[in-house]
Amino acid sequence: MTTHLLVAPPATGKTQACLEHLRAALGERPFAPAWVLVPDKTQADQMRTRLAGTGTVLAAHVATFSDLHLEILEKAGRVLPMAGSVMLHRLLQEVIHGLGQAGMMTYYGGISALPGFLLEIQSRIGELKRALVTPERLAQAAQSGTYPGLVELARIYAAYQSRLQELNWADEEGLSWLAQAALKDDKTLLADLAILIVDGFDSFTPAQLNTLQALAGRAAETWITLPGTPDMQRPAHRRFRPVLEALRTGGETALETLAGPPHLPPTLRHLEAGLFETTLQTAPNGSDLALIEARSPVEEAREALRWIKARIVRDQVPLAGCGVALPELETYRSPLQAAANEFGLPLRFSQGALLAATPAAAALSDLLGLALNDFPRRALLDTIRSPYFDPASASLQREDARLLEIASRYGQVVQGLAQWEETLNLLASQNQDQEAAAEIAGEEESGVPRLPVGAEAARLLAGLRTLAGRLAPPDGELPLKEWVRWLAELLQDLGFYKCLAGEAGLVVTYDRMLMALAGSEALTGPVPVRYAGFLKEWQGLEAAAWVLDDERDAPPAVRVMGLMEARGVRLEALAVLDLAEGAFPAVERADPFLPEDVRQALGMQTRFGQEQAGLFYQVVTRPDRFLLLTRPYLAKGGESWEPSPYWNAVLERLTLKADRIRPEDTRPLNEAASPEELLFWSSRRQSQAGLEPPQALVGPLAARWKHIAETRPILEARLQKEAGGAYDGSLAGINQELGQRYGSRSRWSASRLESYATCPFFFLASSALGLEVIEPPQLGYQANQLGSLLHAVLEHVYQEAPDPTDTVDVLARLPGVAGHIFEQAPQEYHFRPSLLWDVQQEELLKILQKTIQGIADFDPNGGWRPLAFELQFGLGDSPPLVMSMGILLHGLVDRVDVTPQGLLRIIDYKSGSSHLAPQDLINGRRLQLPIYALAAEQALQRGSAVEGFYWTLFQGKVSPLKLSTFECELGTGPQAAFDLAESHVKTIVGLIRQGAFEPVPPQGGCPEYCPAAAWCWHFTPGRS
């Protein structure tokens, strides 16, 4: 029987015509089967809605080709179990592994275990099958040897196919082959069809064409629709020309068309008629077509959803009648979702997010890796505080992560249960004293987490032990089925599914993955693996999976889909995004697995010449009422981004320009799509006019306005060149309190004063507020611990020597003294030695030798002999150094030497070597030497300090700044240094008392240990 090919431009009523034929056919034979084939689920849903809307009951199967193939096989009694994507992934993995073991994967050997390779191969096998290319044909094509990779692809394909056949399973494409074979063998199959309608396609795979040809003549009527015109002469129709030719070669066909114009609004009708035509006929565009240029994809997504909301509110377009179409979904997923949340628009994506990119997958990955990686600190804490797990089954709470974090810093826990045990046991033993002391002191619970001790530490330890026990995988090799059981129980125990409430798609996805993985051994046979192997398997599956949509009782929403999905649906309002050069049309690239000439020879679709213009033509003719086209005009780097040639092709047909949205532009308030936006736009308008926002707006949005009002002066402060004001370091408003806090009884160290001179805001953050940069625990010593350690060795070795000027003797004693201090160092200075500790001790010993020898060599005449080490002033019982204005100073002088005449020399050891020049004393950043010299004079009462320098331990050198040679505006030598230091101290303390803490980034950049660096907007990167 004749197959009717109904070819007509979009929106001319092809589907309607088919429904009329369906109604007529079923009117004659009400109980005969009728099928309507559509490309995908989205279109199937739309077709069902349309059938329901005809007002009569039309008993037709609305289905995809896959549904039809299954029906044929059921009727023929040849149904095979169909393997899902997870099972096929596993099967392919086994096949590739087997070929690799047999030495048959030399070309792809290096990458064959990667999840990405597996996905590519899985997709190529699907493509080959849809193109009806058998493994034998591919092997033949590979015989020339031109492409070594092709030989291996053919091997994989053959092994995969034979394994599937051995097991008597099928993949989706295989079902089409089997269905065609069944149709060939049994001419009576589906011979009772009253009508077959094939609608919404713009192309067919060879397998689909085969099915249509096999069915031709069985249905009393067959109607196939195609966009275009019977001659397919227009450039916009070029994409459909080969499809029509292929349909006409299969048997007796009648080519029909529809005469009427497309049922499109005026501008879109004009666009449809002229798109890609060479004769230019421009027309004014009406409200049915809009073009928007936005700065970035984020703003583009916002503008598109704002436009959709306007269509819903102003033009009464139903939610389900709105859609967004994009060339590439993932770039726009987050911006669209964020804008939709703000605008109160529900969205439904045609494809879920990549599972591996979801926070739940990241949390699960951390959890499953814990036991394997010996419980790394960060991942363990993240797991306990994760919203995806409930640690109650281990008698822990999420808040315990904070306590454990504090404990981990105390005990320098880096990794491993042993370190947790050691630390928490130690803290548990501190129970009695600390708790009792707290009680005696009448301390109240502050609510701020503090170091857990006693019973609390013991509880945490017990919880960690339980959790670790639960996470410990069974020993040895287990079949995947057993691993899946173990994992399912673990997830149940940790409340994973309960915590996923509200993310139904993830629950469905994980459920199916677990079931499919357990079932995959039905294909491959039992695969006993160790835990690491199972984990790799699981992560490979996660990397390849997409979050499934749980559509049960799904409420209406704006549909977000790819361009291919959009081409067959009809909507009332559609926004097409990302019409930028390189995005659409997509850049066509050769396929590294199946080169172009091979594709041509095998009758497959080629990667070049895909006629994307035809796809654009179809997409822009989807909406019945409104179309929006958008593009980003700036690329990521800030340079301008050219529009797509299709964008230009549309503009050529219109007399109006695209609407370019600049963030700084004043927008009409009636375009605001959310209360936040309304308030923001309104406030900006008013402030530009020097006015407060209207009360009518502020009233209902008082909380939001209060927030904006509070943030305004902060933002204004940020825009000033010079730092200043209450939001930028000035605490002048509390100078009285500061005057008290830093009054005459305060004691100052040189380093605190130096930190103010480095940057006043740095002082405020570190010294006044007591903030510090919290570094995660790490193996080995930290810089400050190393400094203390070296200082201690030098102090003790000189003190132990009967004659500290006898360098030979001091050096001889050094290994013994250092060895003893090194041995105690991890406990004394609270660090966890790394594996390099032994080597580091040798290196440190050399540094110390060099220091002792270097200082001795610096005094060849032997005039100086050590007088004091770690000399205190203003600490303990020792009196402070008193400077002008009664400022009290305290500190610890590393070393004081003396001459026979009683003259003093100050030495200060430094681990670093920066900022040790005379200029650093001149600008106040280094004050130690003169202050220490004055303190030593006062404390020792032996004579004047005539010399002083820093000794750089790692360079083994004297600093450029020396008291004896110092010069400044006030004079030369030590006295000039003393006078200058005194003047700095007076100025700094005065400014601190006045509350002057405006940030001034130091020359050479801010120190990396500045605690304000995380939020200070004056931060200037540089050397520390």
Site residues, ligand SF4 (CB under 6 A): 759, 761-762, 999, 1001-1002, 1006, 1010, 1012-1013, 1016, 1018-1019
The SS3 of residue 575 is strand
| Chain-centroid distance, C-alpha 525 | 37
Closest to 577 in 3D by CA, of 297, 355, 330, 186:
297
Rank residues 759 and 916 by Cβ distance to ligand SF4 and give the closer one.
Answer: 759
Rank residues 232 and 1006 by Cβ distance to ligand SF4 and give the closer one.
Answer: 1006
CB of 757 to ligand SF4, least distance (A): 11
Between CA 262 and CA 272 the distance in angstroms is 8
Between CA 704 and CA 64 the distance in angstroms is 50
CB of 767 to ligand SF4, least distance (A): 12
Between CA 921 and CA 976 the distance in angstroms is 11
The SS3 of residue 37 is strand
**Owner of token pair 């050198």:** 957
Rank residues 175 and 759 by Cβ distance to ligand SF4 and give the closer one.
Answer: 759
The SS3 of residue 543 is helix
CB of 1007 to ligand SF4, least distance (A): 6
Between CA 169 and CA 181 the distance in angstroms is 16
Rank residues 110 and 1022 by Cβ distance to ligand SF4 and give the closer one.
Answer: 1022
First and final C-alpha spacing in the chain: 85
Residue type, 120: E
| Chain-centroid distance, C-alpha 924 | 44
Residue type, 194: A
Between CA 333 and CA 344 the distance in angstroms is 16
Contact yes or no for 842/822 (Cβ under 8 A): no
Rounded to 5 degrees, what are φ and ψ at 967? -135, 140
CB of 89 to ligand SF4, least distance (A): 50
Contact yes or no for 540/486 (Cβ under 8 A): no
CB of 1012 to ligand SF4, least distance (A): 4
Rank residues 485 and 1018 by Cβ distance to ligand SF4 and give the closer one.
Answer: 1018
Rank residues 875 and 1013 by Cβ distance to ligand SF4 and give the closer one.
Answer: 1013
CB of 1015 to ligand SF4, least distance (A): 9
Rank residues 219 and 1016 by Cβ distance to ligand SF4 and give the closer one.
Answer: 1016
Between CA 741 and CA 738 the distance in angstroms is 5
Rank residues 520 and 766 by Cβ distance to ligand SF4 and give the closer one.
Answer: 766
CB of 1005 to ligand SF4, least distance (A): 8
Rank residues 768 and 889 by Cβ distance to ligand SF4 and give the closer one.
Answer: 768
Rank residues 459 and 1018 by Cβ distance to ligand SF4 and give the closer one.
Answer: 1018
CB of 725 to ligand SF4, least distance (A): 15
| Chain-centroid distance, C-alpha 661 | 28
**Owner of token pair 């394994």:** 163
Rank residues 359 and 1005 by Cβ distance to ligand SF4 and give the closer one.
Answer: 1005
**Taking CA 45 as the corner, what is the angle to CA 616 and CA 308, rounded to the nearest 5 degrees?**
55
Burial label for 488, CB within 10 Å (0-12, 13-18, 19+), is middle
Rank residues 102 and 1014 by Cβ distance to ligand SF4 and give the closer one.
Answer: 1014
**Taking CA 357 as the corner, what is the angle to CA 351 and CA 358, rounded to the nearest 5 degrees?**
85
| Chain-centroid distance, C-alpha 614 | 35
Rank residues 476 and 1021 by Cβ distance to ligand SF4 and give the closer one.
Answer: 1021
Closest to 405 in 3D by CA, of 777, 766, 773:
777
Query: Residue 376: beta bridge partners?
Result: 415
CB of 728 to ligand SF4, least distance (A): 10
Instruction: Output 76-81 pairs: Cβ under 8 A, ≥24 positions apart.
Output: 76/179, 76/182, 76/185, 76/186, 76/189, 78/178, 78/182, 80/168, 80/169, 80/170, 80/174, 80/175, 80/178, 81/168, 81/169, 81/170
**Owner of token pair 């407060």:** 692
Rank residues 64 and 1020 by Cβ distance to ligand SF4 and give the closer one.
Answer: 1020
| Chain-centroid distance, C-alpha 105 | 35
CB of 765 to ligand SF4, least distance (A): 6
Rank residues 244 and 1016 by Cβ distance to ligand SF4 and give the closer one.
Answer: 1016
CB of 995 to ligand SF4, least distance (A): 15
Rank residues 440 and 719 by Cβ distance to ligand SF4 and give the closer one.
Answer: 719
Rank residues 388 and 762 by Cβ distance to ligand SF4 and give the closer one.
Answer: 762
What DSSP assignment string belongs to 231-292? T--SGGGGGGHHHHHHHHTSS-EEEE---SPP---HHHHHHHHHTT-SS---B---TTEEEE
CB of 1018 to ligand SF4, least distance (A): 4
CB of 1014 to ligand SF4, least distance (A): 9
Rank residues 585 and 999 by Cβ distance to ligand SF4 and give the closer one.
Answer: 999
Q: How far is CA 402 from CA 397, 407, 408, 808, in A?
A: 10, 9, 10, 52
Contact yes or no for 202/175 (Cβ under 8 A): no
Q: What DSSP character marks residue 654?
A: B
Q: Which two tokens stand for residue 328?
A: 């590439």
CB of 1006 to ligand SF4, least distance (A): 3
CB of 1019 to ligand SF4, least distance (A): 4
Q: What DSSP character marks residue 394?
A: G
CB of 1001 to ligand SF4, least distance (A): 4
**Taking CA 824 as the corner, what is the angle to CA 821 and CA 825, rounded to the nearest 5 degrees?**
80
CB of 738 to ligand SF4, least distance (A): 18
The SS3 of residue 335 is helix
CB of 736 to ligand SF4, least distance (A): 24
Contact yes or no for 174/135 (Cβ under 8 A): no
